Amino acid sequence: MSTATMTKSNAPTPSLTVPAIMPSNVDEGHRTVPTPFGKALVQLAEQRPEIVGMSADLAKYTDMHIFAQAFPDRFYQMGMAEQLMATAAGGLAKEGFIPFASTYATFAARRCYDFISQGIAEQDANVKIIGGLPGLTTGYGPSHQATEDLAIFRAMPNLTVIDPCDAHEIEQLVPAIADFNGPVYTRILRGAVPMVLDEYNYRFELGKAKMIRGGKDVLVISTGFMTMRALDAAKLLQKDSIDVAVLHVPTIKPLDEATILAEVNKSGRMVVVLENHTKVGGLGEAVAYALTCAGVSSKFHHIGLPDKFLDAGTLSVLQDRYGISRNAIVSSLRSWL
């Protein structure tokens, strides 16, 4: 029975099988790079002795184990204690170190919000918080699906918030956030990570949105691995003579409103925001707010996760079910044109 049929008939959700370790999202036809975050951090740390690594018992699952193996004397395993990790990271930053503190995105956002707020952000401590398994990139259910982390961290003063697309961008953002003096929260993809943006000569710049491809019919504004999906959808729709532009927005806060407004102001294009996050409080609402404040009107649509706790299951089934798969995006864009 198809997902669409199940939805219409309100039939119960079938039992779904969950693999032991969930990989990063790799759609068919894309190259991958293994552990880009861990390798980029090691490469940088060879030149930057002030960089230290931390993990709350999840080094292996956030690619921080690469750093731990290379620099065991600069790695701190904090155990299942995210709040302690956040507080210790703030203290290390005050002593002149640059801590990269890694855990799952949901644990960073939910379990130690107050500790990050008081021990890092309020102090303007130079800590880099690394959140693995962002959005719907695990089938383990609501305890591990970080569907609201961007909304939570967007509300925190002093905190820069980033959602990278692929391995190419992760490799570039690691030195960029190390050079930036201030607290940063960034999502990451782990394990075998897609390599997409190198084909477009893309360069990551903190705080900047970048046009990846032009198009006269639709302007897609996307972040995270949804930019990969947007580019795939654009290629598929091009066969139907539908011209899709893709604006990649890796930095959610501060938002590059100037670039977004400049692109939206180009007449004749439907605007669609794509994000691997709940529709509440993420990129879509940030873009809509910016357009409203600027008095800009356009035909606007938003593809994101629903305001609910999501099911557990295999990623392909879940991402189809919640409308963020490549095929679901193509179907939605066609229906709106």
Half-sphere exposure of 173 (CA within 13 A, CB side): 30
- Burial string for 176-215 (b: 16+ CB within 10 Å, else e) reads bbbebebbbbbbbbbbbbbbbbeeeebebebeebbbbbeb
Give dist(CA 315, CA 138) in Å, integer.
7
Give dist(CA 332, CA 233) in Å, integer.
10
Phi, psi (degrees; rounded to nearest 5) at 162:
-130, 145
82 in active site: yes
Give dist(CA 100, CA 125) in Å, integer.
12
Place of tokens 């899709």: 244
DSSP 198: G
Beta strand 251-253 pairing with 160-162:
antiparallel
Which of 82, 148, 171, 285 is an active site residue? Answer: 82
- Residue 85's Cα: distance from chain center in Å? 22
Asked if the peptide bond before residue 254 counts as cis, ω within 30 degrees of 0, the response is yes
Give dist(CA 312, CA 296) in Å, integer.
39
Q: Count other C-beta atoms under 10 Å from residue 242's C-beta.
A: 18
Residues 46, 168, 265, 326: what is their CA dihedral angle, to the nearest 10 degrees?
A: -150
Q: Count other C-beta atoms under 10 Å from residue 16's C-beta.
A: 13
Give dist(CA 18, CA 312) in Å, integer.
8
**Tokens describing residue 221:** 């504004």
Residues classed as catalytic: 82
